[in-house]
Amino acid sequence: MAFSKIAEILKEEKETGKKFWEIILGDDLNERKVSFEESFSKMEKMLEAMEFADKNYSPKLRSASGLSGGDGAKLEEFRKNENTLLGTFLKMVMEKAVKMGESNACMGRIVAAPTAGSCGVIPAVLLTYLELKNPERDAVVQALYVAAGIGQVIANTASISGAEGGCQAEIGSASSMAAGAITYLEGGTSEQIVNAAAMSMKNMLGLTCDPVAGLVEVPCIKRNVSGAVYAVIACQMAMAGLKSAIRAEEVFERMGTIGSLIPSCLRETSTEGLAVTPTAMEIVKKMRD
């Protein structure tokens, strides 16, 4: 994709009268030299891959490390309990975020959205919306184009790699993408989509990447829950008329700068942070024995 700034997308939208998602679609058609049907079908297959991982989740599966498995089922049971602080939507988002991460870790189906470590955020938000709000299926596919456009701008402006920018670059990017996508589904304007993306990313700035044993399981899977919930919250703030005081472009740029300032020991090397706690060291020792 050619876009490196949100402003470029909004400018084309104003000049052509096309919607945000249509501009991203058009860019894909031009870049890959494919038809509308080919592009849309490929994006729909990505949605289907997310659905496959969610529907085929098994509470019996455990990852090779033994660090993941079963928590998605616990959250499913928790969701059925009406006497909780959260509503059904957020409880289901939490459940699906963990299920997706566990399915990934247990090799049920690998879904990178945009990375393996952040694979639960976008699916959790969009699949929950699809299940509970019953939108047109094509609209959810369109929302994935919105997410893709935001993700590409972030990738071009900063990074989506934990090794380069810390966890803010992975789960932060996914949260921002999901916020924009769900705001689109809620009927938000492009301005609201962009504000939601910015506000969600701001909540993740400075988040380090410190996976135990170098695996994107602990604390990554549960961080997916936070990223997914932040996306929903940012969407609702944007739909209420709240705006990001800092432009999305600047938020993404600062994320890149912050990532370069985070020491390498906190960028997926597992040499600091949670990865070197006594408990983490015990886990690593057990895995090696």
- Burial status of residue 276 (CB atoms within 10 A of its CB: 0-12, 13-18, 19 or more): middle
The pLDDT value given to residue 289: 85
The pLDDT value given to residue 1: 60
DSSP line for 55-88: HT--TT---TTSS-SSHHHHHHHHHT-SSSSS-H
The mean pLDDT values, 10 residues at a time, for the chain of 289 residues are 90 97 97 97 97 94 94 97 95 98 88 93 98 98 98 97 98 98 98 98 97 97 98 98 97 98 98 98 94
The pLDDT value given to residue 108: 82
Residue ranges of domains in the chain? 6-288
The pLDDT value given to residue 109: 75
Contact 246, 142 (CB under 8 A): no
What is the sign of the dihedral through the CA atoms of 128, 42, 113 and 195? negative
CA distances to 216, 226, 257 from 191, in Å: 34, 24, 24
Cβ atoms within 10 A of the Cβ of 126, count? 28
